[in-house]
Amino acid sequence: MSDRTIHLHRVLRCPPAKVYRAFLEAGALARWLPPHGFLCTVHHLDARVGGSFRMSFQNFGTGSAHSFGGEYLELVPDEFLRYTDRFDDPNLPGTLEVTVRLKPVLCGCEVSISQAGIPDVIPLEMCYLGWQESLTQLAWLVEPDIPG
């Protein structure tokens, strides 16, 4: 695995359980994970240790798409997730590893994410930008407290 790693941090106004669910439910992932301008299709999701997932992102403007999948390595409900990502495109080799830590804080949930093993052909600043957009969309999904 490449040593190219990025780290992200956010505080969201909701309990950790809601953020944890957003990482493991197909409909939620399709809503918040793709960066701006992309659509997401979740083809398969088996959210358990040893389970796998497969999804694709489509550039809405151009129609081009890329697909990827991975495996869930560790899942601690409402606290911790660790999973792999592997692109189907041979020009994006290697296995990425994503670690998500959730911690309850006074105003909600502290979210710490690291993504390691980023292929050399992907500029790290593009990873940061994509994750920042995704985390904004995650906040829009999990922060509203809608009764009923």
Per-residue pLDDT tens for 76-122?
Answer: 999 999 999 999 998 888 899 999 999 999 999 999 999 999 999 99
Q: What is the pLDDT of residue 2?
A: 54
Quote the percentage of the chain above a pLDDT of 90. Answer: 94
Closest alpha carbon to 16 in 90, 81, 103: 103
pTM of the prediction? Answer: 0.94
Mean pLDDT of all residues in 56-75 = 97
Architecture of domain 5-37+75-142: 2-Layer Sandwich (3.30)
Residue 141 has pLDDT above 70, yes or no: yes
